[in-house]
Structure 1
Amino acid sequence: MRLTKVSMLAAGLASALAVQMAALTALAETAKSRITVTGEGRVDARPDMAVITLGVATQGDTAAAALAENSRRLAAVLAQLKAAGVAERDLQTSGLSLGPRMDYSREGQPPKVVGYEASNMVTVRVRDLTALGGILDKAVGDGANTFHGLSFGLTDATAALDAARVSAVKEAARKAAMMAGAAGVALGPVIEMTESGGAPDPMPMYRKGAVAMAAEAVPVEGGEVSYAVNVTVTWELATP
């Protein structure tokens, strides 16, 4: 009986010791020196797609009249866009509003409804950049009177982003090796790696009044789009 109790006590002590050793090992691993560095990778590419946002704003004495006129003019704009080669999948309504126009000029009197305004915005993807200027001209000529901007991008940015990731990791490794060498230590294995970014850098948006656009051919240059990725890497440090 006494031998059994001794055996159980020994087993308990061994188990507790194993847990303690595991905790100490984990603490030692955590306490190892580390270095964390962020590298940026950037890739410039010629865009193959443009996104324009334009629309129609109309006014009327009643909400129904404003909306009916808006629908008529927007239908003409959409018809011209399709005739110019824009596919239906590249046309999307991105904003629709209808509300009263108020007169706040009467002092001491509550505001008065003087009419209604309807607004409808459409986002258009243009995959043939050579046709972009003509598409803008046609859209404005057929009733689009609001222009909310133009941006460029890639239909498939996978290759550009992958190249930026590789560049970012190499840059982080270069910086880490330089810093470790200056400190008289060596880089060990990678412990952690995280990524941020990936969206194209903001491009200057082409903005111009609708009347001016209708009066002349719209010159548009795509230039280049930049995709940037930041990669943060943590290495373990070791004495060389």
Structure 2
Amino acid sequence: MKPSRIVPMLALLTSLTAGAQSQPVSSSRPALDPSARILRVEGTGEIKAQPDEAWIDLAVETQGATAKVAGEENAKKIERLIAALTAAGVVRKDMETRHYSVYPEYAQPDPRAEAKLRGYRANNTLSVHVRELGRLGELVDRGLASGANRVDGVRFGLSKSDAVRAEALRQAVERARKSAEVLASALNVRLGPVLEASTVAEPPRLYPARAMMAMADKSAEASTQILPEEQTLQAQVTLVYAIEPAR
């Protein structure tokens, strides 16, 4: 895990007139004295981290003359897919249905003619939770060989995102504090206590996986390689300081 560049955002010195208002942290906390001399600053922290878990979305699509036929064929194929993944070491609790649908398909070769029912299509998308990222390509290949006819995507995540979020927040507070010190010095005022503190932590910014085909040697079959992208998490903090004339 490595921090990236953090850009502080500074708020202007608030008006010292009676009309100035501040935002309380919560409804249970009284508002600041509108006549108080305050300095409001913001800081943003951003942390990049390597993902340590992923979800593969494997879809099984089937067609049939009736909804029943399409659904039954789909059920057979999804069972084969689940059995193959289970044999590969994926436990059942790490597999769940992400999407399921059965819908009619119509043919309309001539826009002026009435659409005719062509049949039905069933779709069952199985989401597979993977904690060993080195096995992603292997499991994708196994899924495609065992009944899946589409890969809807690979999503990455952080199993310990709280620790990453805490580091982003710590850096955001540090940047906001430094900004307050610089402003106070430039304005020839002295920082007092922090009157308010609020924060917003953004969820990890997820990037799509990159997939590629690689050959181990000329005699081997091609296998899919999934290259994880870094996850980005941001936190923003707002600090309100009391200020006093410099001594």
* Aligned-partner SS, 1:31: coil
* In 2, Cα distance between equivalents of 1:217 and 1:201: 28
TM-score, structure 1 as length reference: 0.80
Give the match for residue 197 of structure 1. Answer: 201
Give the match for residue 210 of structure 2. Answer: 206
**Is contact 1:58–1:69 with CA below 8 Å preserved after alignment?**
yes
- Say if 2:83 is the partner of 1:82: no
Cα drift, residue 110 of structure 1: 2.2
* Aligned-partner SS, 2:210: coil
* Aligned-partner SS, 2:110: coil
Which is richer in helix?
Answer: 1
Give the match for residue 45 of structure 1. Answer: 49
Cα drift, residue 104 of structure 1: 2.2
- Say if 2:220 is the partner of 1:218: no
Which is richer in strand?
Answer: 2
Q: What does the per-residue CA deviation read over 1:74-125, in whole Å, with 9 as the maximum and x for residues that have no partner?
A: 1111112222222222111111111100112234332111100001112211
Cα drift, residue 207 of structure 1: 6.1
* In 1, Cα distance between equivalents of 2:212 and 2:97: 21
**Bigger shift: residues 46-55 or 117-126:** 46-55
Residue 238 to residue 107, structure 1, CA distance change in 2 (3 Å): same
Whose Rg is larger? 1
Give the match for residue 36 of structure 1. Answer: 40
- Say if 2:68 is the partner of 1:64: yes
**Is contact 2:51–2:230 with CA below 8 Å preserved after alignment?**
yes
Residue 97 to residue 223, structure 1, CA distance change in 2 (3 Å): closer
Q: How many residues align?
A: 210
* Aligned-partner SS, 1:29: coil
Structure showing greater relative contact order (alpha-carbon pairs closer than 8 Å, 6 or more residues apart): 1
CA RMSD of aligned residues (A): 2.2
* In 2, Cα distance between equivalents of 1:151 and 1:87: 19
Give the match for residue 133 of structure 2. Answer: 129
Give the match for residue 123 of structure 2. Answer: 119
* In 2, Cα distance between equivalents of 1:61 and 1:194: 59
Cα drift, residue 234 of structure 1: 1.8
1:231 equivalent among 218, 223, 237: 237
Give the match for residue 16 of structure 2. Answer: none
2:158 equivalent among 154, 175, 181: 154
Residue 48 to residue 28, structure 1, CA distance change in 2 (3 Å): closer
Cα drift, residue 34 of structure 1: 2.0
* In 2, Cα distance between equivalents of 1:28 and 1:93: 50
Query: Structure 1: which 4+ aligned runs deviate by more than 6 Å?
Result: none
Cα drift, residue 208 of structure 1: 7.7
* Aligned-partner SS, 1:202: coil
Residue 105 to residue 228, structure 1, CA distance change in 2 (3 Å): same
Equivalent positions of 1:157-172 (< 5 A) are: 157-172=161-176
* Aligned-partner SS, 1:47: coil
Task: Please list every run of 5 or more consecutive structure 2 residues that lacks an aligned counterpart in the other structure.
Answer: 1-29, 214-220
**Is contact 2:66–2:119 with CA below 8 Å preserved after alignment?**
yes
